[in-house]
Structure 1
Amino acid sequence: MNRRSAMSQAFRLPEILEIARAEGKVTVEDLAERFNVTVQTIRRDLAELAELGRLERVHGGAVLPSGVSNIGYEERRGLNRSAKVAIAKACAREIPDGASVFMNIGTSTEAVARELLHHKDLLVVTNNMNIANILVDNPDCDIIVAGGMVRRADGGLVGTLTMKAIEQFKFDLAVIGCSAMDEDGLLLDFDIQEVGVSQTIIAQSRRVFLVADQSKFKRNAPARIASLQEVDALFMDHPLPAKLERKCRDWGVEVHIAEDAGGAD
């Protein structure tokens, strides 16, 4: 039997991490070939490493987690895709027809936008050009794009101009995402300019909905957006840590756990 095919998971995992450190990313197909095992075996290995916080799952593979820079936007679209859809459906059910809504930058908020295509009489303001393009297909939704500097990596608009545009409104509710969340309930991000925009959104909204999958607890980011205490409702795919769940009850934060949320693709 080939040495690699007989290698147990305990031996494979450190080697997978070494490959990820050397190459920046690993793919399921490549690892299956390297170790002479099935792709299902490698997916289980990557799921284990993701659960331990050592790698982040992306579509077709995994990348090293970072505390100072975000992974690529297209990669994030593939991360926990089925969970994001389930979270988005749960969030969209709580958004009434006839509401004014702000939606910020993120793949989770984009997923919510797709679930709003049949809502009626919406006014959506966004600094995410991807969301504007999605909602163009809803004839009963008026769309306003908050101007500013375009961030080419994800189609987001950030900076002082964006913040000044948002300050002209008072929204019924905001749907926001974040890059990371710690167990004390702090919402974190990588881009200081985006943090300023998110803080302005929260200030200008009567209610704030946060959409976040469980991977946010396995990441770290340097910039503080706000406390979960400033959010009205949290939509997730997995129950919160017990300590944070108690805090949410004390703060009056509604916690919605999406049903039928799957794992990473």
Structure 2
Amino acid sequence: MSGSEQAPRRLGKRARHEHIVKELMTSATLRVSELAAALDVSTETIRRDLFELGERGLINRTYGGAARPLGTEPTVAERHRMMVPEREAIAKAAALLIRPNDVLVIGGGATTTHVARRIAAVCRDLTVITHAFGVATVLAANPTITVIMAPGRYNGREGNLAGPETNEFLQSYYANWAILGASGITTEGVSEAEPLAASVYKTMLRRATETVIVADHSKFEQQALSLWARWAEIGRLVTDRAPSGPLARALERARVEVTVAVTP
């Protein structure tokens, strides 16, 4: 179960459904046994709840539980309140890669905004191209950083711009680094819940000499709607927990350099 507080005991069916959907916004997968314990109902009741939610398209049923639908993710504002110590540790480690006079492209997202804030605090004399208002805002605190905003169609949930105009604009620039987040990380590569944003990240990757993915461990073994990069295209992953199992082997085969940030 996620780090949120346990739900009140003996909720009615509607309240249970709302609780389950809310939990899937913070934990990409849930197990029947965990839900039954948290909601103080039988596993049979939870299975019926999941069946009904699945029929309504609000969840994806899995063997033993439920998963968040591929095309959904909490808003960027909601994600900013999650995994804060882990994201701050990732940001601290990622900022160490940057040198004066580097040119960066930075994608949207909660973790990339944490990284941008850290870059603004400890780096200088940079040029940063971004499509995310949150990234641009935190970088503006450092007067030695030149921020270039890409145009495009505004996505209010994510606070970023995307679309053909965004990709065409990015084609005019070269960068030393692409700093990009992820909705999901699997043995195949990196995926994103928003297809238009995925297209932007793919363009950013191709315009940069090196790409670093910044993502906490909750994204491991999660699959989002749009696969936009395979590990052979990515040089580095900065995260808060060492990958294991098939994911670790996939990263090793692709020679991805993994940095594990230490969370206080």
Q: TM-score, normalised by structure 2?
A: 0.75
C-alpha distance in 1, partners of 2:11/2:232? 41
Counterpart for residue 62 of structure 2: none
The answer to whether the Cα contact below 8 Å between 2:195 and 2:226 also exists between their aligned partners in 1 is yes
Q: 1:22 aligns with which of 10, 18, 43?
A: 18
The TM-score with structure 1 as length reference comes to: 0.75
Counterpart of 2:114?
111
How many residues align structurally?
A: 219
- Aligned counterpart, 1:240: 243
Query: 1:258 and 1:217 mapped to 2: Cα distance?
Result: 15
1:254 matched to which residue of 2?
257
State the Cα distance separating 1:18 from its structure 2 match: 8.3
In structure 2, the residue corresponding to 1:25 is in which secondary structure?
helix
Distance 1:13 1:86 in 2: 36
1:172 equivalent in structure 2: 176
Q: Which runs of structure 2 are paired with 1:17-166 in the superposition (5 Å)?
A: 19-23=15-19, 24-25=21-22, 65-117=68-120, 118-166=122-170
| Equivalent position SS for 2:98 | coil
- TM-superposed deviation, 1:249: 2.3
Structure 1's unaligned 5+ residue stretches are: 1-8, 27-44, 47-53, 55-63
Cα distance change on mapping 1:123 and 1:70 into 2, 3 Å: same
What displacement does 1:210 show? 0.3
CA RMSD of aligned residues (A): 2.9
1:16-57: CA deviation from partner (whole Å, max 9, x where unpaired): 99855234436xxxxxxxxxxxxxxxxxx69xxxxxxx9xxx
- Does structure 1 conserve the Cα–Cα contact (< 8 Å) formed by 2:71 and 2:194? no
Deviation at 1:66, TM superposition (A): 3.3
Quick one: which amino acid aligns to residue 128 of structure 2?
V
- Provide the C-alpha distance between the structure 1 equivalents of 2:9 and 2:231, rounded to a whole number of angstroms: 35
Structure 2 distance, partners of 1:17, 1:123, is: 53
Q: 1:127 to 1:17 in 2, by over 3 A?
A: farther
Tell me whether 211-220 or 78-87 shows the greater mean CA deviation. Answer: 211-220
Q: How much has 1:166 moved relative to structure 2?
A: 0.5
Moved over 4 A (4+): 12-20
Maintained 8 Å contact 2:80/2:110 = yes
Relative to 1, partners in 2 of residues 1:138 and 1:244: Cα closer, same or farther, differing over 3 Å?
same
From the superposition, tell whether residues 101 and 151 of structure 1 become closer, same or farther in structure 2 (CA, over 3 Å): same
% identical aligned pairs: 25
Structure 2 residues without counterparts, runs of 5 or longer? 1-5, 24-37, 40-49, 51-66
Match of 2:233 among 224, 230, 235: 230
